[in-house]
Amino acid sequence: MWMTATPEPAVELKGIVKRFPGVVANRDVCLKVQRGHVHAVVGENGAGKSTLMKILYGMQRPDEGEIRINGAPVTFRSPSDAIAAGIGMVHQHFMLADNFTVLENVILGSEPRQAGTVIDFSAARKRIREISDAYGLGVNPDSLVESLGVGDRQRVEILKVLYRGAKILILDEPTAVLVPQEVEELFASLRGLVREGHTVLFISHKLDEVLSVADEITVIRRGTTVETVNPGQTTARRLAELMVGSELPVPELRESTVTDVVALAVEGLTVRTPEGRPIVDDVSFEIRKGEVLGIAGVEGNGQAELVEAIMGIRPAAGTIRLSDTDITGWTTRRRRVSGVGHIPEDRHRHGLLLEAPLWENRILGHQTEKPNAKGPWIDRSGARKDTARIVDEYDVRTPGIDVHASALSGGNQQKLIVGREMSGDPVVLIASHPTRGVDVGAQAAIWDHLRAARARGLAVLLISADLDELIGMSDTLKVICGGRIVRAVDPHNVTPEELGSAMTGAGGEA
């Protein structure tokens, strides 16, 4: 594979080794990326993909190995060295300041100066327009980031990187938060970039996408590169086998377990912004025991606020009933104690204490429940034992339960949260993107756990950007748009494409 005689790869990594306490994140990694290629990196959770990209971007220093950019060996001490060498990175979690405009966000840190003092806004605005037009990014420099959807935000991130002169772009799981239409738009932009001579490196767990957009695919397994393949000569199934040695999972619910008993009923739920604009607008639904209700929608259409209202984190008008009890006025804790589990969409902000050990993270959200607490006391040994169980049952790859959550790879953090929220037999589970960022193997395991719990009578509210997951795992499916439930869709008779257009309000009857 390495023998093909192409001149000077844009990026060449040789023998990269990176160790963390208890794990070797990268071991003897070799990777060649040709200039003008879209090069995908795939691998299971904790395989070392993010670590490798952070090394290339100067955020982490390799313990051993060599990096060559356009043939010349380099040593990066910080991201600014990497930026100077023409490398840019878009992280999975966007790093834009909400209440600034696109223009301000883009120039933050590299402000163009007029005569060395005043910020030259008009020059910056002009360049942003140029870049945006050149690659079809469709970014308006003067809109407020707050008002943008995820797809737009991502393009702003890309633009920001290009603005700094990057010729090599690294995108870490750029599609995890996007719905199919947005993914298509992103890929169109990437193709535009590549035509202009840029090089793109990207990480994804969605193998179909990888096959459709990449020129070359490198598989990482347990920290080391196992193979680089050509998408024309492989299949998603073969990739999955290379990654984890298992087959591609299919989200599907076998027989219906839906009962007549209503577990969660929401009526006329309305959440308003401080200005009084409704973000969740008169939403009503019921979820019965053993039922999975899927909510489809482009991100930013009120899903996050709906979840927060149900969890009691955000004030809302309307009524929420758990079984027969009106819980509208209850605190978050009381709701949780009564059996409402919550997998939050932003695991770093809402799901974890990053600088605390795993076993303390097991307690989070279940501070008052067995096996974490005995009366007003924390039951340390009970919590530790149960953490070990979760690590085992959910295959969380970690050197131990005393490491900090920040040391786990994104997907393994997710597995820990899912395991925690499924513990203690919840009555209702509010699951926002339960498999976001987890590899195909772990996805199958999480779906299995969900199915089993559903068979035992769990009611699930499922929110996901992964339409296959939504269609396959939902008994009932509703579409949310602009904060309102706009229609119901039959999950047994809908294709992802139809659902996708229903979500944007474009398509006809699904």
Ligand X SMILES: Nc1ncnc2c1ncn2[C@@H]1O[C@H](COP(=O)(O)OP(=O)(O)OP(=O)(O)O)[C@@H](O)[C@H]1O
SS3 (DSSP) at 259: coil
Footprint of ligand X on residues 50-69 (CB under 6 A)? Answer: 50-51
**Which residues fall within 8 angstroms of residue 266, CB to CB, at 6 or more apart?**
283, 284, 285, 286, 310, 318, 319, 320, 321
Q: Provide, rounded to whole angstroms, the least separation between the CB of residue 222 and another protein.
A: 6
Q: Interacting stretch for ligand X, rule CB under 6 A, among 264-272, 386-394, 403-411, 498-506? A: 403-411
Of 252, 250, 263, 307, whose CA–CA distance to 456 is shortest? 263
Which of 160, 342, 384, 433 forms a contact with another protein (CB under 8 A)?
342
Q: Give the separation between CA 507 and CA 233, rounded to whole angstroms.
A: 34
Backbone torsions φ then ψ of 420, nearest 5 degrees:
-65, -45
The closest residue (CB) to ligand X is: 411
Footprint of another protein on residues 394-453 (CB under 8 A)? Answer: 397-400, 402
Site string for ligand X, 424-463 (x = CB under 6 A): -------------x--------------------------
Of 475, 57, 71, whose CA–CA distance to 295 is shortest? 475
Footprint of ligand X on residues 3-42 (CB under 6 A)? Answer: 20-21, 23, 25
Per residue in 246-266, is it b (16+ CB within 10 Å) or e — as a string? eebbebebeeebbeeebbbbb
Q: Interacting stretch for Mg ion, rule CB under 5 A, among 227-235, 306-314, 410-418, 496-504? A: 410-418
Interface with ligand X, residue 279, by CB under 6 A: no
Footprint of Mg ion on residues 13-52 (CB under 5 A)? Answer: 50
**Which residues fall within 8 angstroms of residue 150, CB to CB, at 6 or more apart?**
94, 177, 178, 182, 299, 300
Q: Provide, rounded to whole angstroms, the least separation between the CB of residue 299 and Mg ion.
A: 20
Interface with another protein, residue 21, by CB under 8 A: yes
Interface with ligand X, residue 43, by CB under 6 A: yes
Q: By 3-state DSSP, what share of the chain in percent is helix, strand and coil, each rounded to 5?
A: 35, 25, 40
Which of 32, 39, 49, 436 forms a contact with ligand X (CB under 6 A)?
49
Which residue is listed with tokens 């407020």?
A: 144
Q: Give the separation between CA 409 and CA 191, rounded to whole angstroms.
A: 29
Q: Interacting stretch for another protein, rule CB under 8 A, among 35-43, 147-155, 286-294, 369-377? A: 369-377
Q: Provide, rounded to whole angstroms, the least separation between the CB of residue 38 and ligand X.
A: 19
Which of 373, 427, 481, 486 forms a contact with another protein (CB under 8 A)?
373
The contacts found for 314-318 with CB under 8 angstroms, 24 or more apart, are 314/271, 315/271, 316/269, 316/270, 316/271, 316/280, 317/268, 317/269, 317/270, 317/271, 317/272, 318/266, 318/267, 318/268, 318/269, 318/270, 318/282, 318/283, 318/284
CA angle 23, 27, 32 (to 5 degrees): 140
Interface with another protein, residue 62, by CB under 8 A: no
Which of 341, 351, 411, 426 forms a contact with another protein (CB under 8 A)?
351
Interface with Mg ion, residue 410, by CB under 5 A: yes
Which of 323, 332, 501, 504 forms a contact with another protein (CB under 8 A)?
332
Interface with ligand X, residue 397, by CB under 6 A: yes
231: enclosing H helix or E strand: none
Size of the site for ligand X (CB under 6 A): 20
Interface with ligand X, residue 48, by CB under 6 A: yes
Q: Which does 311 bind (CB under 5 to 8 A by kind): another protein, Mg ion, ligand X, none?
A: another protein
**Residue 485, beta-bridge partner list:** 480
Name the residue nearer to Mg ion (CB basis): 352 or 494.
352
Which of 35, 164, 222, 484 forms a contact with another protein (CB under 8 A)?
222
Residues in the site for ligand X, rule: CB under 6 A? 20-21, 23, 25, 43, 45-51, 397, 407-412, 437
Residues in the site for another protein, rule: CB under 8 A? 19-24, 63, 222-223, 311, 313, 331-337, 342, 344, 349-356, 360, 363-368, 373, 376-378, 380, 397-400, 402
